[in-house]
């Protein structure tokens, strides 16, 4: 492999950071620049989630990467941005910068490098003097027969290699066991949000005819978007079929990694394509509270109830509030705290489960998904639920959990347990 100099790496880094994928994303740029420079300085062994959180995202010394996913979330965004850059404007660059999944140590390569050649197998050793070639041929034929016999027996079922059982963390088994093998793959339902999207010349005349015009000068927030530059005017049309939220979408990655590690497959469908009959067929995970029927069927208003953009608490206990509302920065009006509900409920036949994860905003949904796919956080949740039971030995089968998360730059940060309720069995 041809060595790549520090100068070449820094030149490539400069091109990447000046691209449209990084130029206006200051934190993302600082993240990538920091890990690249630390790698060039020989500090690769010190790069970890904690260091990045403290140095780049101004987290204090008590920063807990397990509780605050800011570094992992931003790393996913950086990997996506790098992939898009080198597939587009950077496709002719002489070097490549990658941030492999699951690591924070960047990899630098030359774009022209071919895959390493496969080494030739070593020449067979000659037999001792006088070893007849005929005997060697007989031995080779015998070995081939043994190999074919083994393959035949394997196909017949006689020598099947034992399957290694997928490992499920003990701390997560109590929560997820009903969803795991031998149960059928659970159905994950993502919401279709009703919204007004910007119309464009690709739309039909019938679509444009039902649009709503909003003058550009009334939408200064869109000034840096491609739509503001390309469209003559902002004509918005209603859509109830095309869009889901970022938090629920990113949460699918958490579910995929968790269930794959447990040897389970998944089904994913848009909410508009799922009815209650589909939900009753097996285990179902409903993301976001935007299904037209879910908010009316799966509610326990005597406990925590998510409706009208807030979460009400009809029976507040010590240190609990009667209403939980999202919080916003008084200066920038950006979201800084969100809440989410997690409900574990029985399905119609009671042998299956329905899991609902509802954030008031998409950041709350994403934080709650990260919470329930983290064995460490599930161990904490189990302890909280045990406190609700008479015997303090087994957590309730069905429950409500209220969570909260900090939000920075519209990315969820530290998620915390707020309260829980045991539901009737």
Q: Confidence band (pLDDT; 50, 70, 90) for 163?
A: very low
Q: If you average pLDDT over every residue of the chain, what do you get?
A: 82
Q: What is the pTM of this model?
A: 0.62
pLDDT at 291 (0 to 100): 62
How is residue 343 written in tokens? 């409900």
Instruction: Give the pLDDT confidence score for residue 217 in this predicted structure.
Output: 81
Q: What is the pLDDT of residue 354?
A: 92
Q: Mean pLDDT lowest for which of 44-53, 116-125, 334-343, 346-355?
A: 116-125
> Mean per-residue pLDDT for 83-88?
92
Is residue 93 pLDDT above 50, yes or no? yes
Give residue-wise pLDDT tens across range 174-201. Answer: 999 999 999 999 999 998 888 888 888 8
Please give the pLDDT value at position 157: 42
For the chain, which residues make up each domain, given as ranges? 6-110, 174-192+244-422, 196-239
Confidence band, pLDDT 50/70/90 cuts, at residue 159: very low
Nearest to 361 by CA among 300, 400, 406: 406
**R_g of the chain computed on alpha carbons:** 28
Cis peptide before 182 (omega within 30 of 0): yes
More confident residue, 40 or 117: 40
Angstrom distance (rounded) from CA 15 to CA 111: 14
| Phi, psi (degrees; rounded to nearest 5) at 221 | -65, -25
Is residue 205 predicted with pLDDT exceeding 60?
yes
Higher pLDDT, 300 or 10: 10
Query: What sign does the CA torsion over 25, 26, 30, 31 have?
Result: negative
- Of the chain, the percentage scoring pLDDT greater than 90 comes to 41
Mean pLDDT of 20-38: 89
Query: Strands across the sheet with 212-214, in order?
Result: 195-198, 234-239, 212-214
160 pLDDT more than 80: no
Mean pLDDT along residues 150-178:
61
* pLDDT for position 299: 66
pLDDT digits (tens, 9 = 90+) for 343-356: 999 988 788 999 99
Tell me, what's the pLDDT at 167? Answer: 66
pLDDT at 293 over 60: no
Q: Work out whether strand 284-287 and strand 187-190 pair parallel, antiparallel, or are unpaired.
A: parallel
Provide the percentage of residues in the chain whose pLDDT is more than 70.
Answer: 84
When comparing pLDDT for 166 and 112, which is higher? 112
Residues making up the chain, counted from first to last:
425
- Residues in Cβ contact with 373 at an 8 Å cutoff, skipping those fewer than 6 apart: 172, 254, 255, 257, 258
């Amino acid at each position: 492999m041809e060595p790549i100099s520090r100068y070449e790496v820094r030149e490539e880094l400069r091109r990447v950071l000046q691209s449209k994928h990084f130029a206006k994303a200051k934190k993302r740029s600082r993240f990538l620049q920091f890990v690249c420079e630390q790698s060039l300085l020989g500090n690769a062994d010190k790069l970890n989630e904690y260091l990045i959180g403290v140095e780049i995202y101004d987290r204090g010394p008590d920063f807990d990467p397990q509780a605050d996913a800011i570094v992992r979330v931003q790393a996913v965004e950086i990997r996506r941005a790098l992939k898009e850059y080198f597939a587009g404007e950077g496709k002719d660059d002489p070097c490549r910068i990658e941030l492999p999944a699951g690591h924070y140590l960047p990899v630098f390569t030359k774009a022209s490098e071919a895959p390493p050649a496969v080494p030739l197998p070593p020449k067979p050793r000659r037999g001792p003097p006088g070893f007849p070639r005929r005997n060697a041929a007989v031995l080779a034929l015998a070995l081939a027969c043994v190999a074919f016999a083994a393959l035949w027996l394997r196909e017949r079922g006689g020598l099947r290699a034992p399957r290694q059982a997928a490992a499920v963390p003990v701390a997560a088994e109590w929560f997820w066991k009903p969803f795991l093998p031998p149960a059928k793959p659970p159905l994950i339902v993502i919401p279709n949000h009703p919204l007004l999207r910007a119309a464009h010349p690709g739309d039909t005349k019938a679509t444009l005819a039902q649009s709503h015009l909003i003058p550009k000068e009334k939408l200064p927030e869109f000034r840096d978007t491609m739509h503001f530059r390309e469209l003559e005017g902002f004509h918005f049309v209603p859509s109830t079929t095309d869009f889901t939220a970022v938090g629920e979408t990113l949460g699918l990655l958490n579910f995929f990694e968790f269930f794959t590690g447990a040897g389970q497959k998944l089904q994913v469908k848009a909410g508009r394509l799922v009815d209650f009959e589909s939900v009753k067929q097996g285990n179902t995970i409903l993301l976001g509270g935007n299904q037209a029927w879910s908010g009316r069927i799966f509610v326990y208003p005597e406990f925590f109830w998510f409706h009208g953009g807030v979460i009400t608490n009809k029976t507040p206990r010590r240190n609990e509030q009667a209403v939980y509302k999202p919080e916003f920065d008084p200066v920038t009006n950006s979201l800084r705290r969100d809440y989410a509900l997690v409900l574990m409920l029985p399905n119609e036949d009671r042998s299956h489960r329905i899991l609902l994860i509802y954030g008031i905003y998409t950041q709350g949904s994403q934080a709650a998904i990260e919470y329930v796919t983290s064995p460490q956080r599930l161990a904490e949740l189990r302890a909280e639920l045990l406190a609700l039971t008479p015997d303090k030995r087994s957590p309730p089968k069905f429950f409500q959990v209220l969570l909260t998360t900090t939000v920075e730059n519209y990315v969820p940060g530290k998620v915390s347990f707020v309260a829980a309720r045991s539901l009737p069995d």
